[in-house]
């Protein structure tokens, strides 16, 4: 069974893909500090922050071609997950459109 712990090399840690892990640790610390400062009860994970950021960019009208290089997804079709509307967004859209229903 492969060792799943990061390997230590010259005062840096590598992830399972052999890439530098220090930025991840810094980012996690950053998120923890600012989550607490904003009054959140729990820190947001880097994964959730990333998902929130790309969802927000999509809602702002940013094209998939602009998001894809930063997302790490190989295809634009993979970005569809960030296009999902929240229940609140769907309700607001429904209320704005239903008043125009011709009945």
pLDDT digits (tens, 9 = 90+) for 82-92: 777 666 777 88
Number of domains in the chain: 2
Q: Model confidence over 25-40: pLDDT tens digits?
A: 777 888 888 888 888 8
Structure tokens at 6: 């990061």
Residue-range definition of the domain harbouring residue 69:
45-103
Q: Are 34 and 65 found together in one domain?
A: no
Q: How confident is the model at residue 58 (pLDDT cuts 50, 70, 90)?
A: confident
Torsion of CA 54, 56, 60, 65, to 10 degrees: 0
Q: Are 13 and 55 found together in one domain?
A: no
Query: What is the predicted pLDDT for the residue at 9?
Result: 47
Q: Are 56 and 17 found together in one domain?
A: no
What residues have CB less than 8 Å from 11, skipping those under 6 apart? none
Could you tell me the CA-to-CA distances from 74 to 52, 68, 78, 90 in Å, in that order? 19, 8, 7, 29
Give the chain's mean pLDDT. Answer: 77
Q: Are 56 and 102 found together in one domain?
A: yes
Q: Are 86 and 99 found together in one domain?
A: yes
Judged against a pLDDT cut of 60, whether residue 48 lies above it is answered with yes
Q: Are 38 and 1 found together in one domain?
A: yes
């Amino acid at each position: 069974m492969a060792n799943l712990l990061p390997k230590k090399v010259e005062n840096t840690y590598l992830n399972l893909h052999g890439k530098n892990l220090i930025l991840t640790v810094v980012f996690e610390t950053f998120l923890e500090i600012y989550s607490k400062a904003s009054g959140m009860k729990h820190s947001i994970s880097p994964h959730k922050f990333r998902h929130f950021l790309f969802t927000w960019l999509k809602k702002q009208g940013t094209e998939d071609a602009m998001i894809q290089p930063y997302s790490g997804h190989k295809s634009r079709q993979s970005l569809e997950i960030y296009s999902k509307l929240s229940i609140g967004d769907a309700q607001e859209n429904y209320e704005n459109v239903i008043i125009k229903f011709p009945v």
